[in-house]
Chain A
Amino acid sequence: MSQGNKKKSWKQLLYRDRFLLMMIIPVVIYYLVFCYLPMTGIVMAFNQYQVGSGFAGVYTSKWVGFKWFKQFFGSIYLGRLVRNTFLLQFYSLIFGFPIPILFAIAVTQVRSKRARKAIQVSTYLPYFISTVVVCGMINNFLSPSGGIINQLLNKIGIESINFMNLPQWFRPIYVISGSWQSFGFNSIIFVAAIMGISPDLYEAMDVDGANRRQVIWHLVLPSIRPTIILLLIMSLGTMMSVGFEKVYLLYNTAVYETADVIQTYVYRQGIQSSNYSYATAVGLFNSVINFVIVFVANKISRKVTDTAIW
């Protein structure tokens, strides 16, 4: 058979797989139109986009080289923006990544199917609450005058804390609320991976006399390791991509010190001040860091665990 393939020209191969290829065309078009074509817009980071010049202006505006990058690297906000962006995601990863795994392991140990479903559904639900509503809830709960958290603090003799106006509280609030909102939903893929483990293996462990802890440690965790690594690398790829909406809705001038991230800075520069080229340069800088992180993470993973995306 392979002998036969070698003799076929690429035209014959195309003809042979024509239906398969036709099926992939919409996907290719989608990526071309919505991913690769807009990607050429990064040229704006190297020119001075003439406002009002439309799509053509993206490519025809005056070339300024690395002017915007130099400006950003010279900005007093560079360090703070990178630090805040990185730390918000880093903490989210450190605290947010293990929770769905632990939760998935725990929930799959529940014997009653009905109880398991109830737990899973109730933990998915917060994920479907809009970010705006979640931020509204956070603001209300943490209000120094009448917020439930401060009322509880008052009851145990602690003075009200103005959570939303103190820079040191922004990161914990962001990370904890984010974890609460997404751990149930994020656990789905781990639950599926755990469910995919062959019952034979469980039985074998059982025969060997393994207790529950040993089953988890020696069977469940190794079995879902590729899934964990895959998701970890994908999460690392968004290490510098903080969810703009949530930061924007939660931050105020009092907490810029810890809350102002690259995405909000790009928004202020690009949308609010019409400095599109500068904002594009800052965004591109962010994407380059993301790319480097995911590339390095993939390399490390390949070396250490033999598991990698590419």
Chain B
Amino acid sequence: MKKRVISLVMASMMMASAIVGCGSNAGSEPAAPADNANKTEAVDAAIESAETKVEESGFSYTGEGPISEDGGTIKILAQTSNYSNVDITKAPIVLKVFEEAGVDPDWQLLDYNSYEDAITPMLSAGNIDADIIKIPDNDPNQIWIKSGMFVALDEYFDYMPNFTKWLSENPVQKAELTAEDGHIYYVAGVNVAHDYQPVLMYNQVWLDKAGMQAPENLDDFVELLRYFKENDMNDNGDKNDEIPMSIMSDFLPYMFGPAFGLDLVSGFQADENGKVTYAAADSENYRKYLEFLNGLYKEGLLEVEFTSLDRDKVIERISNDLTGVAFDYSWAMSMMYSNVLPYYDGTEKTAFVGVAPLSGEHKGFYVGRNFLSGMFGVSSKSSQIELACKFLDYSMSEHCQDYYQWGIEGESYIVNADGKREYTEQGKDNDWLQQFGINPAFVFPAQQSVEATDILVADWHAKINADQRQYVVDPWPMIYATSDESDTINMYLEDIQTNVDENTTAFITGTKDIATEFDGYIAGLEALNLPELVNIRQQQYDRYLKALSN
């Protein structure tokens, strides 16, 4: 059960174009323009001048399959499915894409869980024999772009009608994908960035027993935790086996940071004036955040083992009715947590339900995701760059996105009398759907869909998701670093992150005393050249605002 489901948040919907901007200041005046703002003129010109190439035989690729008259084999280096029992290379949806494209795959798939660790040295060594490569991250520091191992896709736009159309329709993503040198190197997958995001959840039955509403602020929240701790919430006669909340440590910043005005998830954040700061170096609010968590820890409301708590343990507790509060990706709500509760009857009344974020001195919010993720590039060492570009283009076409989001008509979904799609009985079985290859973001630039996800989850869950959309703000935007910037970032960021991670844990657990050692921690960050990094992020953010205003 453990790693299942991430891909259930499925595809469609390019709501990307509708949602732009960064946090609360998207509409604010752009700060002073940076000299080296990434310009999209070259990409725009390439889109403008792109025209369908007619091959000598008279065959031309217009964005539909087949992509080649003579077939061929495309070598793809990507990830295995995150479901260990799914062989993505045999999934009908994936096979269908290749069948229609008229080419055969030659897979090199690396394990999903260790993909970043495995592919990074391979890319660094530069000796990869593949036509299409899924890079391990969004390449924010342009490490792979600068290595020269990927072709500038805009030089092959004649072979990429679907991608050029998508770029034209999504100017913000086009700007985000445009590198420092004015070229575009990757075709990206698209997330549902404001839906089904990490959310605070309560055991509704426990809440009702306590006679309380879902708390909206930190004080009420702490009161509720105390109540859960002191009472026999699961009616088993033992008042001591209740664990008030079960939160994996990675989610603590999501859950409590906003109440203190901090976006600790992104790390860097911009205020309403466009001024960039590092959240974990906020000497006032971060201190309060740590004091709050330290208080929870000392009182036993945040468990001793919070750093090693994992999803399996949380599920185990919920299935034994031992815990009242959880925080996780929204999909877990009905698909992983509620359904293991002993008394869940399929309704909201007996489920783990998502609620509004907690507020403190600051109004709470949930941190969303960037729209772009899952980047695919074409290797400059490929002997068939045009064919690889065509396949990448075809695999991101709307036609294929439909497969990724819904599957194949008659098998995973049907169109009902009202003309609306609905999943078949088989399609409602998540295991089967995964085997079928739904949302194959591991191997293709798939785009997620709110609509398809709404149908897949419980009705009450879809409604809660819709209610919560209002609380979700954009994270730090995807902005490429310039060469100089990436050198500095690479040099300093790792040490800073290490410092923050270990001090945060030490302050929460009381190993370090906030009253006497917090100032030293802030000074330590400065000694690690944080001001220089903040300065770079400020320049990047200014560039981003400028690109938006263009």
Q: Chain A: residues with CB nearer than 8 A to chain B? A: 49-55, 57, 71, 75-77, 139, 143-145, 160, 162, 164-167, 252-254, 256-257, 260, 268-269, 271-276, 278
B144 touches A252 (CB 8 A): no
Of all A-B residue pairs in the complex, the 5 with the closest CB atoms, nearest first, are: A52-B147, A52-B126, A54-B126, A253-B501, A256-B502
A144 touches B501 (CB 8 A): no
A252 touches B307 (CB 8 A): yes
Complex contacts, A49 vs chain B, CB 8 Å: 124
What is the CA–CA distance of A53 and B149 in the complex, to the nearest angstrom?
A: 9
Given the known interface contacts A76-B527, A253-B504, A274-B120, the answer about A54 and B307 at a Cβ–Cβ threshold of 8 Å is no
A53 touches B121 (CB 8 A): no
With both beta carbons as reference points, the residue of chain A lying nearest to B123 in the complex is identified as A52
Q: Which stretch, B268-276, B427-435, B505-513, touches the partner chain A?
A: B505-513
What is the CA–CA distance of A166 and B308 in the complex, to the nearest angstrom?
A: 13
Q: Counting CB contacts under 8 A, is B519 at the interface?
A: no
B143 touches A274 (CB 8 A): yes
Partner of B126, one of A57, A143, A254: A57
| A153 nearest CB across to chain B (Å) | 14
Given the known interface contacts A51-B124, A273-B493, the answer about A165 and B143 at a Cβ–Cβ threshold of 8 Å is no
What is the CA–CA distance of A50 and B124 in the complex, to the nearest angstrom?
A: 8
Given the known interface contacts A51-B124, A143-B305, A274-B143, the answer about A254 and B505 at a Cβ–Cβ threshold of 8 Å is yes
CB 8 Å contact bits of B516-549 with A (1 = contact, 0 = none):
0000000010011000000000000000000000
What is the CA–CA distance of A53 and B147 in the complex, to the nearest angstrom?
A: 7
What is the CA–CA distance of A165 and B511 in the complex, to the nearest angstrom?
A: 9
A144 touches B494 (CB 8 A): no
A275 touches B490 (CB 8 A): yes
A51 touches B117 (CB 8 A): no
Partner of A76, one of B121, B126, B509, B524: B524
What is the CA–CA distance of A273 and B123 in the complex, to the nearest angstrom?
A: 13
Q: Counting CB contacts under 8 A, is B148 at the interface?
A: yes
A253 touches B491 (CB 8 A): no
Complex contacts, B125 vs chain A, CB 8 Å: 52, 54-55
- Interface residues in B124-151 by Cβ distance below 8 A to A read 124-127, 143-144, 146-149
What is the CA–CA distance of A156 and B247 in the complex, to the nearest angstrom?
A: 31
B498 touches A256 (CB 8 A): yes
Q: Chain B: residues with CB nearer than 8 A to chain A? A: 116-117, 120-121, 123-127, 143-144, 146-149, 303-305, 307-308, 490-491, 493-495, 498-499, 501-502, 504-506, 509, 511, 524, 527-528
What is the CA–CA distance of A300 and B544 in the complex, to the nearest angstrom?
A: 63
Main secondary structure of the interface of B (DSSP, over half): helix
| A156 nearest CB across to chain B (Å) | 19
9 A-B pairs (CB sep. < 8 Å): A51-B126, A51-B144, A52-B147, A76-B527, A139-B308, A165-B307, A166-B511, A252-B308, A253-B307
A52 touches B502 (CB 8 A): no
What is the CA–CA distance of A75 and B126 in the complex, to the nearest angstrom?
A: 30
Complex contacts, A257 vs chain B, CB 8 Å: 502, 506
What is the CA–CA distance of A268 and B491 in the complex, to the nearest angstrom?
A: 12
| A34 nearest CB across to chain B (Å) | 17
What is the CA–CA distance of A51 and B147 in the complex, to the nearest angstrom?
A: 5
What is the CA–CA distance of A50 and B127 in the complex, to the nearest angstrom?
A: 13
With both beta carbons as reference points, the residue of chain B lying nearest to A49 in the complex is identified as B124
What is the CA–CA distance of A51 and B127 in the complex, to the nearest angstrom?
A: 11
What is the CA–CA distance of A254 and B511 in the complex, to the nearest angstrom?
A: 9
Partner of B148, one of A52, A145, A275: A52
What is the CA–CA distance of A256 and B123 in the complex, to the nearest angstrom?
A: 29
| B510 nearest CB across to chain A (Å) | 11
B308 touches A145 (CB 8 A): no
Partner of A271, one of B117, B502, B504: B117
A268 touches B307 (CB 8 A): no
| A180 nearest CB across to chain B (Å) | 22
Given the known interface contacts A52-B124, A52-B148, A271-B120, the answer about A254 and B494 at a Cβ–Cβ threshold of 8 Å is no
| B519 nearest CB across to chain A (Å) | 16
Partner of B307, one of A55, A143, A254, A271: A254
Complex contacts, A256 vs chain B, CB 8 Å: 498, 501-502
With both beta carbons as reference points, the residue of chain A lying nearest to B149 in the complex is identified as A52
| B487 nearest CB across to chain A (Å) | 8
With both beta carbons as reference points, the residue of chain B lying nearest to A143 in the complex is identified as B305
B509 touches A254 (CB 8 A): yes
With both beta carbons as reference points, the residue of chain A lying nearest to B306 in the complex is identified as A165
What is the CA–CA distance of A220 and B307 in the complex, to the nearest angstrom?
A: 50
B127 touches A145 (CB 8 A): no
Given the known interface contacts A51-B124, A257-B502, the answer about A77 and B495 at a Cβ–Cβ threshold of 8 Å is yes
Partner of B304, one of A144, A271, A272: A144
Complex contacts, A76 vs chain B, CB 8 Å: 495, 499, 524, 527-528
B494 touches A268 (CB 8 A): yes
| B536 nearest CB across to chain A (Å) | 16
| A173 nearest CB across to chain B (Å) | 14
What is the CA–CA distance of A143 and B309 in the complex, to the nearest angstrom?
A: 11
Complex contacts, A52 vs chain B, CB 8 Å: 123-126, 144, 147-149
B491 touches A162 (CB 8 A): no
Complex contacts, A253 vs chain B, CB 8 Å: 307, 498, 501-502, 504-505
- Other than A57-B126, A139-B308, A165-B304, give 17 A-B pairs with Cβ distance below 8 A: A50-B147, A51-B146, A52-B126, A54-B127, A76-B495, A143-B305, A144-B304, A145-B304, A145-B305, A164-B308, A165-B509, A252-B308, A254-B506, A268-B498, A271-B120, A274-B120, A274-B143
With both beta carbons as reference points, the residue of chain B lying nearest to A167 in the complex is identified as B511
B305 touches A162 (CB 8 A): yes
Complex contacts, A166 vs chain B, CB 8 Å: 511
Complex contacts, A160 vs chain B, CB 8 Å: 304
A144 touches B305 (CB 8 A): yes
What is the CA–CA distance of A117 and B290 in the complex, to the nearest angstrom?
A: 56
Complex contacts, A51 vs chain B, CB 8 Å: 123-124, 126, 143-144, 146-147
Complex contacts, B117 vs chain A, CB 8 Å: 271-272
What is the CA–CA distance of A256 and B491 in the complex, to the nearest angstrom?
A: 20
| A54 nearest CB across to chain B (Å) | 4
| A286 nearest CB across to chain B (Å) | 17
Complex contacts, A274 vs chain B, CB 8 Å: 120, 124, 143, 490
What is the CA–CA distance of A117 and B125 in the complex, to the nearest angstrom?
A: 49
| A1 nearest CB across to chain B (Å) | 54
Complex contacts, A143 vs chain B, CB 8 Å: 305
| B253 nearest CB across to chain A (Å) | 13
Complex contacts, A75 vs chain B, CB 8 Å: 495
